[in-house]
Structure 1
Amino acid sequence: MQAKRPGNRKIIDVSHHQGEIDWAAVQADGVHGAFIKVSEGIGVTDAKFAANAAGAKKAGLTVGFYHYAHPERSEAVAEATFFASVVRAGQAPDFPHVLDVEGAAGVIGADKLTAWCIAWLEEVERLTGHPTMIYTGASFAKTYLGKPLAAWPLWVAHYGVEQPMANATWSAWSVFQFTSNGHIKGISGDVDINAMEQAFFDAYAARTAPHPANQANNVKIIVNGKLAAYGRLIEGRVYLPLRQLGDALGVPVEWKAAEATPYVAGRIVTNFKLIDGVTYLGVRSAAELLDGKATWDNETKKVYFSLAPFATNA
C-alpha cells in the first residue's frame, strides 16, 4: 500500500452527524470532493442525504454516495435494492457508489462476508448502471475481505499514519481516510478527511482537467463530440478508462469477480491494465472490441471515439 503524498486530492465524507454544512465554504477551503452517506442496512435513509448531495453539487464538488452495510442482519441483494431505490431519488454521483463494510459485519466470517460484498457490489452496478467500490478499515480489510474483491477499488481507513496497513487483497488504495478529526471551514466539529489518488479523481471527474504535474493523464477522450474521460499515455500507447468509455457510449461494462475479468456488452476484455483501482484498455483494443473506430489527433492530444452498431452477446 502506498503512502499519501502532496499530489493527492483532498476529499471529505459526511453524514447527518455533521449537521448543516456551508458547502461553498467547504469548497473554498480546498476540498475537491465529498462522499455522502445515503443509507444504512434496510429502511434507514440518512436525514441529510438530499441536502448534502444538492449542496455539494451546487458548490462544484465532485460527489460520491455511500451505504453502511449490515451483513450480520440482512441479505446483500435486499440492501443493494434499498440503496438503489434511495439513490434514484437523489442527484447523480460522480465517484463510484461505495459499500461501507466494517464493525459487526465481521461476525459472519471472511468467506461469507466476501461473498456478501460481491453480491451487493454486482447488484448495485446492475440496478444503477454505475460503478462501485469498497470502504473499510485497514485491519478489517486484512482480516475479512478476500482476494476476489480486488476487482473493485479500495477506500481504506487508517488513522494517524502516512501509509495504511497492507493486506493480501489490494496492493494499492484509491482513497485513504487518514483522520476522523479533521477541521474544514463550513463544518462545525470534526469531519473525516481523505487523500484520493489523482488518477482516480480524474477518471471520475471528467469535467475537471488533469493536474498540471500529471501529464500522463492528459489525453482527452472525445465521444460524440463531448469530453468523456481522460486517458493515459503508457509506453507510447494511449489507454482509456473502460468504465467511463462504456458510460459515454451507453455500453454495459461489468466485472465478473470470480474471473477477475471485465466484460463489455457481454464480450470479455483482455490486455487491460488496473491502475489505481481503475480498469484501462488500449484505444485500439477498445475499438476492435466494440466494432468501433478511434482516431488520434497528435496536435491536440485527443482521441475521437465512435461506435458502430453491433450485437451484444448474451
Structure 2
Amino acid sequence: MVRGVVRWGAAVLGVVVLLGVAGWAGYTYALPHHRPALAAGERLGVDVSAHQGDIDWAAVAGDGIDAAYVKASEGATFADDRFAANWAGARAAGLEVGAYHFFTLCKDGDEQAANLLARLREVGADASTLPPVVDLELSGNCAARPSRAVVQERLTTFVSTVEQATGQQVRLYLLGSFEERYPLPDALADRDRWVRRLLLRPGDDGWAWWQVSSRAAVEGIEGPVDLDVVAAG
C-alpha cells in the first residue's frame, strides 16, 4: 500500500514537472516567436519606445517587419529620447513609420498636441508617413481621475489640433479599461482603431492595426517588444 502511494505520488510529481517545463518553454520561446497567420495584404509591424534601447533597424526589417510606430511624446512636456533615432533608423531601413503620443489625463489637450507636433516637426514628418496615434490607457497615467466631460474635451481638442496641423486623421489606441471610464465622444467615433488582442485575431475587422503580442522576439531589438499586424489597404 505504501509503495503504491509512493509510486502514485512520484507519477503526479513527474507530470507536474513536465507541465512546468512545457509552460516555461512556451512562455520563454514559443510565445515570443509566435507570428500570426496573415490575410492577403496584411503585414507585420512593431511599436517601440526608449525602453527598447538602441535598435538595429536593418535587422528588424530583415526579420519581416514592414512598419513601426515609435513613441514621440507624453503629456505636455515629455519627449521620448530615442524618438528621432528610431524614426530615422526605421525610415532608413525602408519601414513605414509613424509616431504615437501617450495621452495624459491631467494635461490640457492643446498643450499635449503642441508637444507631439513639435516632435513631428523635428523629424520632418509629413503626409507620406503613417498617421499619428494617441495612446489611451489608464495604466501608467496620472493618479488623478478627472471627470468624463473634462477628459472628453481634452481629447477632442488634442485630436482636432493634431489633425488640423498634419492633415491626417489621428488613430486611436484605446484599451477597454480607458473606454469604460471615459467613453469616446461622438466626434471621435469614426477614427481608425489600433486594437489590442493578444494572440487571437480580433472578431471585428474594422481595425487599422492589431497588437498581437507584447512579448515578441524580433531581430535587432534586445528584449521583448510589441508585435502588430497592419491591416490590408
TM-score of the pair, normalised by structure 2: 0.74
- 1:172 to partner: Cα distance: 1.9
* One-letter amino acid of the counterpart of residue 124, structure 2: Q
Q: Does the 8 Å CA contact 2:103/2:136 hold for their aligned counterparts?
A: yes
Match of 1:61 in 2: 95
Rounded Cα–Cα distance in structure 2 between residues aligned with 1:48 and 1:92: 16
Q: Cα distance, 1:149 vs. partner?
A: 1.7
**Partner SS, residue 108 of structure 1:** coil
**2:202 maps to 1:163:** yes
User: What aligned pairs does 1:202-221 form with structure 2 within 5 A after superposition?
Assistant: none
Given the alignment of the two structures, is residue 89 of structure 1 paired with residue 128 of structure 2, yes or no?
A: no
- Residues 77 and 115, structure 2, Cα contact 8 Å, conserved in 1: yes
Name the amino acid aligned to 1:172.
Answer: G
Equivalent residue runs for 1:145-224 within 5 Å: 145-146=183-184, 147-163=186-202, 172-199=206-233
Aligned to 1:131: 169
Which residue identity lines up with residue 129 of structure 1 in the other structure?
A: G
Unmatched 5+ stretches in structure 2: 1-35
Paired position in structure 1 for 2:82: 48
Distance in 2 of aligned mates of 1:155 and 1:109 = 25
In 1, Cα distance between equivalents of 2:115 and 2:157: 14
| Cα contact 1:53–1:91 (8 A) shared by 2 | no
Please give the secondary structure, in 2, of the residue aligned with 1:120: helix
Establish whether residue 18 from structure 1 lines up as the match of residue 48 from structure 2: no
Query: 1-side partners of 2:206 and 2:152: how far apart?
Result: 18
State the shift of 1:156 in Å. Answer: 1.6
Percent same amino acid among aligned pairs?
A: 32
* Pair 1:4–1:30, CA change in 2 (3 A): closer
1:139, 1:156 → 2: CA distance? 13
Partners of 2:200 and 2:180 in 1: how far apart? 16
Question: Which residue identity lines up with residue 65 of structure 2 in the other structure?
Answer: V
Contact 1:39 1:83 in 2 (8 A): yes
Task: State how far apart, in whole Å, the 1-side matches of 2:180 and 2:45 are.
Answer: 24
Q: Which amino acid aligns with 2:62?
A: A
Moved segments of 4+, more than 4 Å: none
TM-score between the two structures when normalised by the length of structure 1: 0.56
Assess, with a 3 A threshold, how the Cα gap between structure 1 residues 44 and 25 changes in structure 2: closer, same or farther.
same
Q: Which amino acid aligns with 1:174?
A: A
Alignment-derived partner of residue 267 in structure 1:
none
Name the counterpart of 1:31. 65
Segment drifting more, 31-40 vs 130-139: 130-139
Cα distance, 1:135 vs. partner? 1.1
Q: Distance in 2 between matches of 1:5 and 1:30?
A: 12
Instruction: Name the one with the larger helix percent.
Output: 2
Q: CA 1:144–1:5 in 2, change beyond 3 Å: closer, same or farther?
A: farther
Residues 220-268 of structure 1: CA deviation (Å, up to 9, x unaligned): xxxxxxxxxxxxxxxxxxxxxxxxxxxxxxxxxxxxxxxxxxxxxxxxx
Paired letter, 1:40: E
Gaps of 5+ in 1: 200-314
Alpha-carbon separation, structure 1, partners of 2:110 and 2:150: 14
Separation in 2, partners of 1:14, 1:21? 9
Separation in structure 1 between the aligned mates of residue 147 and residue 229 of structure 2, nearest angstrom: 29
Q: CA RMSD in A?
A: 2.3
How far apart are the structure 1 equivalents of 2:86 and 2:158? 24
